[in-house]
């Protein structure tokens, strides 16, 4: 959803447990939520690590009698491990706890996190519909998987499983991630709600495979 101005941010965030705000690159994130806990990339690092996320978890685990805002600055710079660890915090956010992601590039945030948040943009319309940057081979597989009919699906799934021969599970998750991003952008461009249903199927498939479900079975069954 598009924001009219940055003054709306704190009011919107107070109404839900988790929000993502994509803001222009010249935005100083420190000017928002000045009395809240801010997590950002350490000065001597290039990413937010899983250890940093554990710091959030420890703070949020304490019962909050007042509203607590946990702000993640440059959320797109979370490491994969940190992002996956953060998902656990979202399952039971705790009463009076509000997670807020501030980012310059929401497309770099895992779709599994994106899908659990209300997302707002204070940017030009053109940027919202820019195609996501995805490896061309993965993009080709993702497009084929999204559009495959029931009869064609097993053939496409076999190609996905061969993408990463060392770890078919990791390869499948990468293709699903790309498929979710492409479907999300297609929805933003067209407004066609069928893409939202497709995203739900893709997320369910990705979650099942991430939790050690049978890769080929999940890739086929959840998309029929």
pLDDT of residue 66 exceeding 90, the answer is no
- Give the integer Cα–Cα distance in Å for 28 and 189: 29
| Segment 108-161, tens digit of pLDDT | 888 778 777 888 877 544 444 455 567 899 999 999 999 887 788 999 999 999
State the Cα–Cα distance between residues 202 and 142, nearest whole angstrom.
11
Backbone dihedral angles phi then psi of residue 21, each to the nearest 5 degrees: -120, 120
Residue 142 C-alpha from the chain's centroid: 17
Give the tens place of pLDDT for each residue, 73-96.
999 998 888 888 888 777 777 778
Residue 44's pLDDT band (cuts 50, 70, 90): confident
Distance (Å) of CA 146 to CA 101, 176, 197: 29, 9, 12
């Amino acid at each position: 959803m598009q924001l009219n101005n940055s003054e709306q941010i704190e009011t919107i965030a107070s109404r839900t447990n988790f929000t993502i705000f994509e803001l222009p690159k010249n935005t100083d994130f420190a000017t928002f939520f000045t009395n809240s806990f801010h997590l950002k990339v350490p000065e001597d690092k290039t990413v937010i690590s899983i250890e940093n996320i554990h710091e959030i978890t420890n703070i949020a685990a304490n019962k909050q009698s007042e509203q607590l805002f946990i702000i993640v600055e440059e959320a797109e710079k979370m490491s994969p491990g940190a992002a996956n660890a953060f998902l656990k915090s979202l399952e039971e956010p705790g009463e009076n706890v509000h997670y807020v992601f501030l980012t310059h590039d929401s497309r770099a945030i895992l779709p599994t996190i994106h899908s659990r948040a209300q997302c707002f943009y204070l940017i030009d319309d053109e940027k919202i519909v820019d195609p996501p940057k995805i490896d061309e081979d993965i993009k080709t597989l993702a497009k084929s998987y999204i559009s495959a009919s029931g009869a064609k699906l097993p053939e496409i799934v076999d190609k996905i499983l061969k993408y990463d021969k060392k770890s078919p599970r990791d390869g499948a998750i990468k293709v699903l991630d790309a498929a979710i991003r492409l479907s999300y952008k297609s929805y933003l461009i067209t407004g066609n709600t069928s893409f939202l249903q497709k995203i739900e199927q893709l997320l369910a498939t990705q979650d099942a495979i991430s939790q050690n479900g049978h890769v080929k079975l999940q890739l086929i069954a959840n998309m029929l």
